[in-house]
Amino acid sequence: MFIRGHQVIRPDRLATLYFFHPLRRLLRRAPAGIPILMYHSISENPESHKNPYYHTCTSPRVFRQQMEFLSRNGYKTISLGEAVRKLEVGQPFQAADPLSSGSSGAPLVVLTFDDGFEDFYTEAFPALSAFGYAATVFLPTAYIGDTSRKFNGIACLTWSQVRELRKAGVEFGSHTLTHPQLRELSAAGVDRQLRSSKEEIEGRLGAPVASFSYPYAFPEADQAFRQMLRNMLMQAGYENGVSTIIGTADSSSDRLFLERIPVNSSDDGAFLAAKLRGGYEWLHALQLASKLRVTATALS
């Protein structure tokens, strides 16, 4: 069984498991897209100072259990680029319900890891390899060095580890240069964060970088900033990207700001299953409402 994070009762878990997910299944509303899971650190950090909803760490034991769950239920991992191509041409993505008997076809999932932590190399990658799963890791390149550097007190990957993982099939994308709040920077500062990180990874790996991950909460309510950022990403040569918008990526998604599903140690089997099947998407309405309030306050 999965371990509940500190046995804390999460309102979002209760609402998902006992109302929104059952309602979706009753209405036979399966998600019409591909779930993109968002991980950060794979470590034992209890994050006791945070509400479990905001946790970004997943213990190695729980992470392996989650990978076992995906494997047991027939999930196949694909890259971000492949997911975008399938979304754009409207290919079938998954079985009607891989958790129900009689379903056919392999459900798809994308695994992403932000912040470039070294525990991806020591903890996540061995578990992924055991199940033949692919992943994309997003690097804040100022914290990736020839020797170990730390971001938020956690050791990050070194370039030699990145190259080794690349040879083993792991994809890498940009998570900016210094992981700043991009909205607080000038346009020139934002452009530098996008281009410098991309150029650094490409120079180190000798391969193009197509993917970008937005740091911190994505300001989807700020349309002017969103359009500026989109233009900059395209001009810098990015082809796809992910955000912290909660949801399942589908044919209506912006390929540069794809929705993701946050995962941490609190996600037991039932909760993870509901998230994968669209049962967590109700939370996006609350997420967006909160951002709209912040934007309105800033403009008042």
Closest among 169, 34, 171, 32 to 108, alpha carbons compared: 34
Angle between helices 187-205 and 223-236 (to 10 degrees): 30
CB 240 within 8 Å of CB 141: no
Closest among 146, 284, 137 to 218, alpha carbons compared: 284
Whether residue 106 has pLDDT greater than 90 = no
- Judged by DSSP in three states, 51 sits in coil
Cα–Cα distance measured from residue 142 to residue 183, given in angstroms and rounded to the nearest whole number: 19
Q: What is the CA radius of gyration of the chain?
A: 19
- Judged by DSSP in three states, 287 sits in helix
β-pair partners for 145:
158
For residue 103, the Cα-to-chain-centroid distance in whole angstroms is 27
Q: What is the mean pLDDT of residues 85-112?
A: 68
Looking at residue 28, its amino acid is R
**What percentage of residues in the chain have a pLDDT greater than 70?**
88
Gap between the terminal Cα atoms of the chain: 49
Report which DSSP code applies to 9.
P
* pTM metric for this prediction: 0.90
Whether residue 194 has pLDDT greater than 80 = yes
Closest among 9, 10, 13 to 272, alpha carbons compared: 13
Closest among 147, 194, 143, 189 to 173, alpha carbons compared: 194
Kindly tell me the sign of the dihedral angle through the C-alpha atoms of 238, 128, 104, 275. Answer: negative
Closest among 121, 128, 130, 132 to 163, alpha carbons compared: 121
Tell me, what's the pLDDT at 45? 85
- Strands 108-113, 136-139: pairing is parallel
CB 99 within 8 Å of CB 273: yes
**Confidence class of residue 287 from pLDDT cuts 50, 70 and 90?**
confident
β-pair partners for 57:
41
Instruction: For the chain, give the mean pLDDT.
Output: 89
CB 215 within 8 Å of CB 231: no
Cα–Cα distance measured from residue 273 to residue 16, given in angstroms and rounded to the nearest whole number: 11
CATH superfamily of 5-299: Glycoside hydrolase/deacetylase (3.20.20.370)
CB 96 within 8 Å of CB 31: no
Cα–Cα distance measured from residue 114 to residue 120, given in angstroms and rounded to the nearest whole number: 10
Cα–Cα distance measured from residue 129 to residue 121, given in angstroms and rounded to the nearest whole number: 11
Tokens of 278: 């669209």
Tell me, what's the pLDDT at 31? 63
- Residue whose structure tokens are 């459900």: 107
Q: What does the pLDDT look like over 209-267, one tens digit per residue? A: 999 999 999 999 999 999 999 999 999 999 999 999 999 999 999 999 999 999 999 99
278: left (phi over 0), alpha (psi -120 to 50) or beta: left
Whether residue 101 has pLDDT greater than 50 = no
The CA dihedral of 65, 6, 19, 273, to the nearest 10 degrees, is: -10
Q: What is the mean pLDDT of residues 107-124?
A: 98
